[in-house]
């Protein structure tokens, strides 16, 4: 038996497709067969499986479990919940050697996909491509012929997971937090039930929005990195005079936040708060952020005595780098925040929210004060524009070559990030779509215009123009 995946489905960081167009039950079964085979060959025997709140998720979960079982691997089914709950199961249950979460993350309702962990490590890039090669060749272990089919058991871990989240406040007197008033927006995503349970266990007053899981996302799109999706949270914070508000994406691994004045606290700004707190506890630590993060973050980490490390965009790439250099904290502009300090090193937006409460308490400042202390940088959002798949990486190489010939100050970690007296600009190729991504940051509006002019000039030199924005 063999299987061919649609060419758009197997991506750099995860597997993602449109239900009944590019992704369906046969694909999920093949993923289970391939992943199960790799687990068996590595000496494992059991995989944790979870799923998000999308309409199609239970169907895909059934198929992936069947695939695992037919490869002779046992499935530990932890049910519906946020992706970090599945990561927690994989990290904390000794008899489990891998994990698969069925999730479409922040994509539209008709999408779905898979995120995986293999023997405690991120499963991405060449690993995902390997699943496609194995399916094409029918290179799967037959469980029946090699020791018997795998078993399937359900295990409830939501309560244990939430109890572990609350440990993020260890050492802080509950009475010092009892005055807090916090708003929360689950966006009808998979974090809702965990959030309801978590806020019952936290000190203070909590106001919750959209915790009912609904894969149609009736209130707003579950992507907290787009400011328009934070409108309900801002309104709640203003109406109830709350200290701050937190929002989650569809599968609960990315955080968004607003302060008491309704100002957005972007991913790199949250990392500035976490870094200040962490470097007091673990001085001199290496703190990682992706190439899209503000220079203000890297400067702040240095000023606090930490070692800033700029790295490639992508949750799998960041997690791998953290393990390599022993970093206790990392983050991305996209709202993925990774704590290895007193946690497991995976991206968990619920845990990040708890650590925001803890940071504010330990630093003795409100979240609004911490946000107000940050330098007033002027920057673009993430600009995306369509480019032919066959050209996107070639364009970046052409830009690199021209810049190196001109003696510009270039960081080539992921695309090109160019520092100038006006600030910096970035151009990189997306690993998941046929788009180029640009971003620029300056201390002045005029400086930002000059930086955007530099991006336009480089694109023009490669026969492109910024043109219309591509969506997510």
pLDDT tens per residue across span 68-91: 999 999 999 999 999 999 999 999
Rounded to the nearest integer, the mean pLDDT of the chain is: 95
Q: Which of 77, 99, 95 is nearest to 87 (CA)?
A: 99
Instruction: Decide if 3 is inside a domain.
Output: no
Residue matched to tokens 């000023």: 303
CB atoms < 10 A from the CB of 59, how many? 17
Span 382-402, pLDDT tens digits: 898 889 888 999 999 999 999
221 and 267, same domain (yes or no): yes
Residue 321 has pLDDT above 90, yes or no: yes
Return the CA Rg of the chain.
Answer: 22
198 and 328, same domain (yes or no): yes
Q: Which of 331, 323, 286, 312 is nearest to 396 (CA)?
A: 312
Q: Structurally, how many domains does the chain consist of?
A: 3
Interval 323-346 mean pLDDT: 97
358 and 386, same domain (yes or no): no
Interval 443-452 mean pLDDT: 96
Residue 218 has pLDDT above 50, yes or no: yes
Q: Pick the residue with more confidence: 390 or 127?
A: 127
191 and 122, same domain (yes or no): no
User: Which candidate in 105, 316, 442, 462 is catalytic?
Assistant: 105
365 and 228, same domain (yes or no): yes
Residue 472 has pLDDT above 70, yes or no: no
Instruction: Decide if 10 is inside a domain.
Output: no
Pairing state between β 423-429 and 416-420: antiparallel
Q: Which of 131, 118, 114 is nearest to 44 (CA)?
A: 118
Residue 188 has pLDDT above 80, yes or no: yes
Interval 187-193 mean pLDDT: 97
pLDDT at residue 107, as a whole number: 85
Instruction: Decide if 95 is inside a domain.
Output: yes
Q: Is 431 helix (H, G, I), strand (E, B) or coil?
A: coil
Q: Does the annotation count 105 as an active-site position?
A: yes
Residue 271 has pLDDT above 70, yes or no: yes
> Pick from 156, 178, 205: which residue ends a domain?
156
Dihedral of alpha carbons 83, 86, 92, 97, sign: negative
Instruction: Decide if 9 is inside a domain.
Output: no
Euclidean distance between CA atoms 43 and 65, whole angstroms:
19
26 and 174, same domain (yes or no): no
Interval 117-128 mean pLDDT: 94
Total-model pTM = 0.95
> Pick from 106, 131, 156: which residue ends a domain?
156
338 and 417, same domain (yes or no): no
Residue 469 has pLDDT above 60, yes or no: no
176 and 316, same domain (yes or no): yes
Euclidean distance between CA atoms 332 and 339, whole angstroms:
12
Which of 43-47, 114-118, 311-315 has the least mean pLDDT?
311-315
Instruction: Decide if 431 is inside a domain.
Output: yes
Interval 221-249 mean pLDDT: 97
Write out the two tokens for 466.
Answer: 């910024």
Instruction: Decide if 100 is inside a domain.
Output: yes
Domain that holds residue 448: 378-461
Instruction: Decide if 309 is inside a domain.
Output: yes
Residue 467 has pLDDT above 70, yes or no: no
Provide the H-helix boundaries in 93-157.
126-137
Instruction: Decide if 4 is inside a domain.
Output: no
281 and 367, same domain (yes or no): yes
Angle at 357 between CA 351 and CA 361, to 5 degrees: 140
Going from the C-alpha of 226 to that of each of 249, 255, 339, 354, 382, the distances in angstroms are 10, 11, 23, 22, 10
pLDDT at residue 471, as a whole number: 45
Tally: H helices and E strands in the chain: 14, 22
> Pick from 324, 348, 372: which residue ends a domain?
372
Which residues are within 8 A (CB) of 91 and not within 5 positions of it... i.e. 6 or more apart?
120, 344, 346
């Amino acid at each position: 038996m063999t299987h061919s995946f649609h060419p758009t489905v197997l991506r750099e960081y995860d597997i993602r497709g449109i239900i009944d167009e590019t992704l369906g039950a046969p694909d999920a079964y093949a993923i289970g067969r391939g992943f199960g085979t790799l687990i068996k060959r590595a000496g494992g025997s059991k995989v944790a499986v979870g799923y998000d709140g999308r309409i199609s998720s239970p169907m895909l979960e059934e198929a992936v479990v069947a695939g695992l079982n037919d490869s002779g691997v046992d499935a530990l089914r932890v049910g519906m919940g946020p992706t970090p709950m599945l990561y927690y199961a994989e990290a904390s249950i000794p008899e489990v050697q891998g994990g698969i979460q069925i999730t479409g993350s922040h994509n539209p309702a008709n999408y779905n996909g898979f995120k995986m962990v293999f023997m405690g490590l991120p499963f991405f890039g060449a690993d995902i491509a390997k699943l496609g090669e194995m399916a094409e060749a029918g290179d799967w272990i037959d469980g029946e012929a090699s020791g018997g089919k795998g078993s399937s058991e359900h295990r409830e871990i939501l309560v244990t997971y939430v109890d572990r989240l609350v440990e993020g406040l260890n050492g802080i007197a509950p009475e010092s937090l009892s005055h807090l008033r916090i708003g929360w927006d689950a966006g009808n995503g998979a974090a809702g039930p965990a959030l309801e349970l978590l806020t019952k266990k936290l000190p203070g007053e909590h106001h919750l929005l959209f915790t009912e899981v609904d894969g149609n996302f009736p209130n707003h799109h579950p992507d907290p990195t787009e400011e328009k999706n934070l409108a309900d949270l801002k309104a709640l914070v203003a109406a109830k005079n709350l200290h701050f508000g937190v929002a989650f994406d569809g599968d609960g691994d990315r955080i968004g936040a607003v302060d008491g004045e309704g100002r957005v606290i972007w991913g790199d700004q949250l990392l500035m708060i976490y870094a200040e707190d962490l470097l007091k506890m673990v001085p001199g630590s290496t703190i990682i952020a992706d190439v899209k993060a503000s220079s203000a973050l890297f400067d702040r980490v240095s000023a606090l005595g930490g070692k800033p490390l700029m790295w490639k965009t992508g949750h799998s790439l960041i997690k791998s780098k953290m393990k390599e250099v022993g970093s206790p904290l990392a983050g991305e502009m996209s709202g993925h925040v990774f704590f290895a300090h007193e946690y497991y090193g995976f991206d968990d937006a619920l845990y990040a929210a708890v650590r925001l409460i803890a940071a504010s308490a330990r630093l003795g400042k409100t979240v609004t004060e911490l946000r107000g202390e940050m330098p007033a940088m002027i920057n673009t959002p993430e600009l995306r524009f369509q480019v032919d798949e066959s050209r996107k990486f070639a364009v970046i190489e052409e830009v690199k070559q021209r810049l190196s010939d001109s003696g510009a100050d270039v960081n080539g970690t992921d695309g090109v990030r160019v520092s100038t007296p006006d600030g910096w600009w970035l151009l990189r190729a997306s690993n998941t779509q046929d788009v180029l991504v640009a971003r620029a940051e300056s201390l002045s509006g005029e400086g930002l215009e000059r930086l955007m002019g530099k991006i336009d000039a480089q694109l023009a030199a490669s026969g492109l123009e910024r043109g219309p924005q591509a969506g997510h």
